[in-house]
Structure 1
Amino acid sequence: MTSLVTGWAKLTNYLSTDFLGGPKRLKFNWVINFQKGATAFWVILLMVHYDNYSTQAWVYLALHGSYGFCWLLKDVVFPDPKWQTHVTFGGAFMAIATVLGPYWVIPYLLISPVLGETHVGANWIWMTVAIGMHSLGIAIMMTADAQKYFTLKLKKGLITDGIFKYIRHPNYLGEMMIYGSYAIMAWHWIPWIILAWVWIGLFAVNIAMKEKSMSRYDEWSDYKKKSYYLVPGIF
């Protein structure tokens, strides 16, 4: 792993947990849960404010809104330990400003007239693709996080069975499919720029750090040969 990746990981961790210093009075999951849980209300507010009750707007509300509530359910039933850390107020602000907040730009582009009155979002064919991709992404994410949580409660170590038998980072794949479906719904290039920043600037780095951590196990070499990075049979 290059020093550049390690340095970037340290920088992003500092910005999201220690930025500006001071007491760490907020749990990271509080910050994330606020954005996830409030997304449905944000989309409804946009629909009411811009008087946009199109099929695309309703479908987007169903997709992104339900994902937010699935996330809250997941945090209650099988919480991810990495989100249980405490962060500074500056760290919370940076998490919202650089990642969580930009996610809310996607429904704004779809529902508001900022892209022009003729922009209505994805057509029926691509909406079908988005719905299917979103559903599968939710299933993959929830399955992966549940398996990881309950397996590690019983036995620490490398998880090489279940969904992890085929891909090493299924939770990231699920997240990418979920947010990719929102970009499809918006039907514009700006959401893909936002996602490219998150996927390359955060996901790819986090995955690299996770692979480095998993490499300490004796069975890592054999597991890596038999599994794929994100997409079974491809990558």
Structure 2
Amino acid sequence: MNRSHKAVTPLAILAMMAFYQEWNYTAWIYLATHGTYALLWVYKGFTFPDRQFLVPCSIPYGVFYVWLPLSLYWIAGWLVMSRHVQAPPWYLAMCVSLTATGIFFHYVGDMQKHMHMQYRKGTLLTEGVWAGCRNPNYFGELLIYLGFGLLAMHWLPMAILGTMVVGLWIPNMRLKDKSMSRYPEFAAWKARTGKIVPYLL
């Protein structure tokens, strides 16, 4: 379900651009950043998928607990197109940089985890981007959606992102910490890492 939603995302953004006849730089940058991230996510799903996204689910569950929540992230695009946002060049560059940095941490973190599970399963992953952060993939997603949300120049995408972080991401991180605490080296790793922001938070 996640993969299908990501695959539709660039088309949804293009449809919004066409509906509102919005073809300015901000609209194209939004399509390039959010659309590229979505297509890379689909590719990642075929090459090094996260196991939790491979679990089959019913259509009602997929619609109400996957598609609808994920579609909240489209609101930033809708705001860009419907409000005809024209961000200044420096602001566009900042948003692109946030998204690019986020994609790096998200996908590198997921690839490291994927390879670790294949070749070093049963040990704690504390190397690479995991050396300073216990959830580099979440840190990447935070930067990615921050980049998208800021392009809208509106408070609503920030509120949606904050709700996701507090209501879903942080509880998942706590559960993961609890699970990882079975490793003897976890306490030392936790002491020198950030939960979501490398070395800081």
TM bracket, shorter-chain basis: over 0.9
CA distance in 2, matches of 1:82, 1:121: 38
Q: Is the 8 A contact 2:193 2:200 kept in 1?
A: no
Structure 2, unaligned stretches of length 5 or more? none
The aligned residue for residue 101 of structure 1 is 71
Closer, same or farther: CA 185–89 of 1 in aligned 2, 3 Å? same
1:152 corresponds to 2:117: yes
CA distance in 2, matches of 1:89, 1:125: 43
Question: Which one-letter code corresponds to 2:70 in the other structure?
Answer: L
1:41 aligns to what SS in structure 2? Answer: helix
Question: Which one-letter code corresponds to 1:192 in the other structure?
Answer: M
Identity of aligned residues (%): 31
Matches within 5 A, 1:63-212: 63-96=33-66, 98-113=68-83, 120-156=85-121, 157-212=123-178
CA distance in 2, matches of 1:205, 1:53: 39
1:48 aligns to what SS in structure 2? Answer: helix
Structure 1, unaligned stretches of length 5 or more? 1-30, 114-118
Instruction: Give the CA deviation at 1:89.
Output: 2.0
Q: Is the 8 A contact 2:133 2:193 kept in 1?
A: yes
CA distance in 2, matches of 1:77, 1:83: 13
Closer, same or farther: CA 196–121 of 1 in aligned 2, 3 Å? farther
After TM superposition, the score normalised by the length of structure 1 is: 0.82
CA RMSD of aligned residues (A): 1.3
CA distance in 2, matches of 1:121, 1:206: 36
CA distance in 1, matches of 2:66, 2:188: 39
Instruction: Give the CA deviation at 1:98.
Output: 4.6
1:36 corresponds to 2:6: yes
2:179 aligns to what SS in structure 1? Answer: helix
More moved, 42-51 vs 169-178: 42-51
Instruction: Give the CA deviation at 1:95.
Output: 2.1
Q: Is the 8 A contact 1:121 1:186 kept in 2?
A: no
The aligned residue for residue 116 of structure 1 is none
Q: What do the CA deviations read for 1:130-165 (whole angstroms, capped 9, x no partner)?
A: 000110100111100000001110111210111111
Instruction: Give the CA deviation at 1:97.
Output: 5.5
Q: What do the CA deviations read for 1:178-233 (whole angstroms, capped 9, x no partner)?
A: 00001110000011111111111111111111111101111111111122222223
After TM superposition, the score normalised by the length of structure 2 is: 0.95
| Structure having the higher Rg | 1
